[in-house]
Structure 1
Amino acid sequence: MAHLHITSWVIAFVLLGLATTFYRADNQKAAKISQMILRLDYLLILYSGGSLFASYSNYGPGVIIKVVIGLWVIAAMEGVAVKYKKQKPAAKWWAQLSVAAIIAIILGWGFLPLGILPS
């Protein structure tokens, strides 16, 4: 399930890049389609993340923090997309997304036992 989760995150970042690029190019139709597919991908992320969460036998603070950070990443991605759609500055949302994504990657790959790095 970890590979599905990682793959869905990669797809989400690609879709976010496409949506922001289309919004900047003023291609509203393509941007809206990209953003809607991104929102569907959020469901896949939540499903795979929930499955990973359920597979832990001990819900320690690291797992709980990872869930909260993961939700923060999703919220920041949506914030970036919405700001681009409304043609408003998105620098604060990009900063939040960068910080949250880096923390989530470090926690998920390095510290939690179901990560892909050896323990």
Structure 2
Amino acid sequence: MSFLTSQTHLHITTWVVGIVIFLIAALMGKQSKGLHMTLRLFYVLIIITGGALFIEAMDYGKGMLYGFKFLGGILVIGMMEMVLVRQKKNKPTAMFWILFAVFLLITLFLGFKLPMGQDFLA
């Protein structure tokens, strides 16, 4: 399973594709049933790759911060699902959009700041 943890590229690819599919499904509204199911598949892939990286990250001595990032990722996925489900039921989604954005920014900040993240300045 070293292909999951040798680099972060697979995990980054899965969450970028997941967010793009989520935004498209949210814009399509009720007729996005197939996209919603595809997005759920990507949730599983994001959690598998993120979990593998989380286990690998224990070697860096920052387990608590990686735990917060893992929790933030789960919350982002939860808010994505809440937005789509509540949108299909014609219920207000503004609070979940805001929570999605906040949790996404926190998770991205931790993901890029921690030692396994990408270094854009090098």
Fold shared per TM-score above 0.5: yes
Over the residues paired in the alignment, what is the CA RMSD in angstroms?
1.5
What is the alpha-carbon distance in structure 1 between the residues aligned to residue 80 and residue 119 of structure 2?
25
1:48 corresponds in structure 2 to: 49
**Uncovered stretches (5+) of structure 1, i.e. residues with no partner:** none
Q: Which runs of 5+ in 2 are unaligned?
A: 1-6
Alignment partner, residue 21 of structure 1: 27
Q: How many residues align?
A: 113
**TM-score, length basis structure 1:** 0.88
Counterpart in 1 of 2:84?
A: 81
Equivalent positions of 1:31-110 (< 5 A) are: 31-56=32-57, 57=59, 58-110=61-113
Task: Give the secondary structure class of the aligned counterpart of 1:39.
Answer: helix
Task: Report percent identity of matched pairs.
Answer: 39
Per-residue deviation at 1:60? 2.4
Segment of structure 1 superposing worse, 13-22 or 100-109: 13-22
Distance 1:38 1:79 in 2: 13
Structure 2 CA distance, aligned partners of 1:105 and 1:22? 26
Deviation for aligned residue 1:71 = 0.6
TM-score by length of 2: 0.86
1:74 partner SS: helix
Cα distance in 2 for partners of 1:55, 1:13 equals 24
CA distance in 2, matches of 1:60, 1:53: 8
Query: 2-side partners of 1:10 and 1:60: how far apart?
Result: 24
